[in-house]
Amino acid sequence: MDALPLIPVARPTLGEEEAAAARRVILSGWVVQGPEVAAFEEEFAARVGAPAAAACSSGTAALHLALLALGVGPGDEVITVSHSFIATANAVRYVGATPVFVDVELHTGNLNPELLSAALSPRTRAILAVHQLGMPCDLPRILAFAREHGLPVIEDAACALGSEVAVDGGGFQPVGRPHGLLATFSFHPRKVITTGDGGMVTGPPELIGRIRRLRTHAMSLSTAERHRAAGVVFEEYPEVGWNYRLTDIQAAVGREQLKRLPEMLAARRRLAARYLEALKGHPWLLLPREPAYGRSNWQSFWIILAPECPLSQRQVMEGLKARGVDSRRGVMCAHREGAYRDLPLRFPLPVSEYLQDRAIILPLFPEMTEAEQARVLEALKEVLAG
């Protein structure tokens, strides 16, 4: 009897519409950053309610550009989390600043606001708050602390397109509005929408204008401005910039992905609700929990092995794989990687380390069928029972 096909952790939702959009741009002759990127930026900003947006080559580039736009540099400190993809910490080091890691909350995986005061120093220049795996971080408390101390907040919303948060007593609003000064997104294939790879920064027009220049080697004139000019014009390069452009081919795909966003969010939330209902009360599992101030897009769904569970993370993952179900370990901790062993920790990070060692990301993607989800749940329960 043939083995059942492997159920992946994630699968991008792409179809004929995206293929046709890419073909249209390829045949147009303008394939690098151009009119499609401008349209994608406008439509993305409108979707999240942001005043302006700047597309770039990756979510990491978006973080780097956001820090540059705020003037963060050598000698500065940025309060953030180790419990995130390493790009979060790397972007801080790209500008010569030092990440100051604080621990996270168990059921959200996000920065614990109670630890901000201890991390504050005269060198603190910004707070980089992550909406981990699409779960909104505690922006109400983080923003209140930031305002009290005159600090800008950058939201690493790489996974959080479509997530919502309520601040200052208001109703739910899209992450990326932004509620901090700037928010950054990723369009990697594991994210909610994809352009193959790519990123976006949202924020006020004056900062977004600077980011648009920095992403193109700080060129004083955009390609569109040169094309529109009636006569010959020469650009200048007043400062060091980067080549962080998004192509028009990618932007055209992204515009089609934005059209799919409502249905993809609905599917993700429906699948997450089924997981939560099926697994609640299991004596060996802790489950993620949406906070009162936030609504997740469920970019990923994860379980946490309780201290009482005798099985290791690896044993559970291997048991799932043997039953045709792929999984991923909990979110990494940058401070445990070789690239950060020279950075002394100011505080212990027990929850961050526990989540890396005991959390497991299960399959979840919009086109996942009920039968596939049932297979995942059956396999998980078999492994835990064994």
Residue 188's identity, in one-letter code, is: H
pTM for the structure as a whole:
0.96
Task: Please tell me whether residue 46 adopts helix, strand or coil conformation.
Answer: helix
Q: State both tokens at 263.
A: 């249905």
* pLDDT beyond 60 at 296: yes
Catalytic residue numbers? 191
Rounded average pLDDT over 255-260: 98
Domain 261-385 fold: Aspartate Aminotransferase, domain 1 (3.90.1150)
Which three-class secondary structure state does DSSP give residue 156? Answer: strand
Compute the average pLDDT of residues 221-250: 85
Could you confirm whether domain 16-259 is CATH 3.40.640.10?
yes
Under the banding of pLDDT at 50, 70 and 90, the label for residue 232 is confident
- Let me know: does 181 contact 127? Beta carbons within 8 Å: no
Alpha-carbon gap, residue 98 to 77, rounded angstroms: 5
Between residues 374 and 226, the one the model is more confident about: 374
Mean pLDDT of 16-29: 97
**pLDDT tier at 39, thresholds 50, 70, 90:** very high
- Closest listed residue to residue 59, CA positions, set 32, 97, 86, 99: 86
- Per domain, the residue ranges of the chain are 16-259, 261-385
Highest mean pLDDT among 2-11, 216-225, 317-326: 317-326
Find out whether 177 and 202 touch, Cβ atoms under 8 Å.
Answer: yes
Q: Name, in order, each residue with C-beta under 8 angstroms of 133's C-beta and a sequence gap of 6 or more.
A: 109, 159, 288, 296, 299, 300, 302, 331, 361
Mean pLDDT for 303-319 is 98
